[in-house]
Amino acid sequence: MSNYLGPEKIIQKKKDFLFPCSQHFYKKPPQIVGGKMQYLFDSQGIKYLDFFAGVSVVNCGHCNPDILCASIEQMKTLDHTSTIYLTEPMVNLAEKLASVLPGDIKHSFFCCSGSEANEGALLLARIYTGRNEFISLNNSLHGRTYLTMSVTGLPMWRADPILSDCVTFVPNAYNKDKTLDEAATESLKAIEVVIASKGDKIAALIAEPVQGNGGIITPPLWYFKKLKTILEKNGILLIIDEVQTGFGRTGKMFAIEHYDVVPDIITVAKALGNGMPISAFCTNDKIAASFTSASASTLGGNPVTASTAIAVLDYIKENNLCSNAQILGIKLKKGLLELKEKYPIIYDVRGIGLMLGIELLKENGEPALEEADLILEFLKNEGILLGKNGLDRNVLAFQPPLIIKESDVHLVLEKLNLALSKLC
């Protein structure tokens, strides 16, 4: 007998002591008790290949010994002071981040979550431009605070019934009934229409380079350059939310690099701490200089999270995680495209690097959500954890730790083939 509570008791305690909004995947969810690089272990000792990485967080793997060592050493030396005293890890991290951030983006404000980073980015855009409003894309997800929830397009993540009316939503670069280029063109046209009517009120447009929760929506390579030109002409800032896409996930350090564009503000979180709560909004000299009124985050840039993030950046570089994501992403995508040829339920295969998704549709064109759940459950029982997202929750998401091996890709493709063959 183990000392673990076990799934049923955990579900009961969740009911008793958390909120009903806190949901979980799977009809029969395992209790996860341990992690080691690309693997998770449950209370019964079953090993799972983790192909979701806690939603794009553990890019360097679970309990990675090198990163753990940096966190523990720092914890033993100095755990917290707040930014009112001078400490070294935070400034060293900012310097290291500046060396990998695109273009002239150089200044970082550290905080603890993706929501907080985006909230800060929106505030910064207002301070710099003196304008109040924002444009955001349908199906986006930017956070849980009031303003970040207000710029979130996905209905399921807009819990507040009275969100701010300072946001105008436009179509994203995806439409099932159109080509990618057509959908992206329409998205830009819609942005131009909004700007024509109230461009002088708009501080910024916020967008994920690849929409994660929206269903791995991946705009064509020309999209963000054209978008930046339109915004620049009208004095509107471009905030790029790299919370889910950052730190090698797409085969480059930041996904926006695929689009050859330098945004005005970038937000980062998740994989920066590989599980430790750290995030930041980052910008260039000129925009940073406008933020002069006092501001501080109690735990933001704390020595432990900052030292961890430094170890993360070093690990990504020393272990070539960007190129691993690129190479294995190509192999995984090729395999998924082959499965698409075999199984008509796979309507679309999309994404870059190790941020891939397959959209499942029924024969009548409706979202195949029950089938998506059946596949997830089947794969879990076979020892593989995948993600699920999209407006209709019918997109299977492949976002593993970036330290996976080619054999892991083969295993996932083999088991997915088995799942699909049982379903179809």
Residues that bind ligand PMP (CB under 6 A): 55, 113-115, 118, 141-144, 208, 212-213, 241, 243-244, 269
Smallest distance, ligand PMP to C-beta of residue 214, A: 9
Considering the complex, state which of residue 120 and residue 171 has its C-beta at the smaller distance from ligand PMP.
120
CA distance 277 to 294: 23
CB of 144 to ligand PMP, least distance (A): 6
DSSP 172-232: -S--TTS-HHHHHHHHHHHHHHHHHHHGGGEEEEEE-SSBTTTTSB---TTHHHHHHHHHH
Q: Are the beta carbons of 144 and 115 closer than 8 angstroms?
A: yes
Helix, strand or coil for residue 384? strand
Cα(390)–Cα(342) distance, integer angstroms: 23
The span from the CA of 184 to the CA of 292, in Å, is: 37
Q: Choose between 164 and 417: whose C-beta lies nearer to ligand PMP.
A: 164
Residue 162 DSSP class? S
Q: Of the two residues 173 and 361, which places its CB atom closer to ligand PMP in the complex?
A: 173
Name the residue whose CB lies closest to ligand PMP. Answer: 114
Report the residue number, 241 or 359, with the smaller CB distance to ligand PMP.
241
Query: Of 241 and 257, which has the nearer Cβ to ligand PMP?
Result: 241
Q: How far is the CB of 200 from ligand PMP (least distance, A)?
A: 27
- DSSP designation for 60: T
Q: For tokens 């080691």, name the residue.
A: 36
| Min separation Cβ 150 and ligand PMP, Å | 13
* Shorter beta-carbon distance to ligand PMP: residue 212 or 219: 212
Cα–Cα distance, 194 to 169 (Å, whole number): 9
Closest CB 311 distance from ligand PMP, rounded Å: 20
In whole angstroms, the minimum distance from the beta carbon of 108 to ligand PMP comes to 16
Measured from the CB atom, the residue of 116 and 371 that comes closer to ligand PMP is 116
Identity of the amino acid at 41 = F
Q: How far is the CB of 79 from ligand PMP (least distance, A)?
A: 21
Task: Compare residues 141 and 194 and give the one whose CB is closer to ligand PMP.
Answer: 141
How buried is 365 (Cβ within 10 angstroms: 0-12 exposed, 13-18 middle, 19+ buried)? exposed
Angle, alpha carbons 422-56-40 (nearest 5°): 65
Q: Between residues 272 and 322, which has the closer beta carbon with respect to ligand PMP? A: 272
- Sorted by sequence, the CB contacts under 8 Å of residue 139 that are 6+ apart come out as 153, 154, 172, 174, 211, 213, 214, 215, 217, 391
223-233 and 180-198 are packed helices; what angle lies between their axes, rounded to 10 degrees?
10
Of 55 and 369, the one with the shorter C-beta distance to ligand PMP is 55
Q: Which amino acid is at 384?
A: I
Nearest CB to ligand PMP, comparing residues 118 and 394:
118
Q: At what angle do helices 303-318 and 321-342 cross, to 10 degrees?
A: 70
Signed CA dihedral, 370, 250, 262, 182: sign only: negative
The nearest distance, CB 344 to ligand PMP, in angstroms, is: 30
CB of 383 to ligand PMP, least distance (A): 25
Cβ distance 378 to 422 under 8 Å? yes
**Under 8 Å between Cβ of 281 and 120:** yes
**Cβ at position 114, least distance to ligand PMP in Å:** 2
Least separation in angstroms between residue 13's CB and ligand PMP is 22
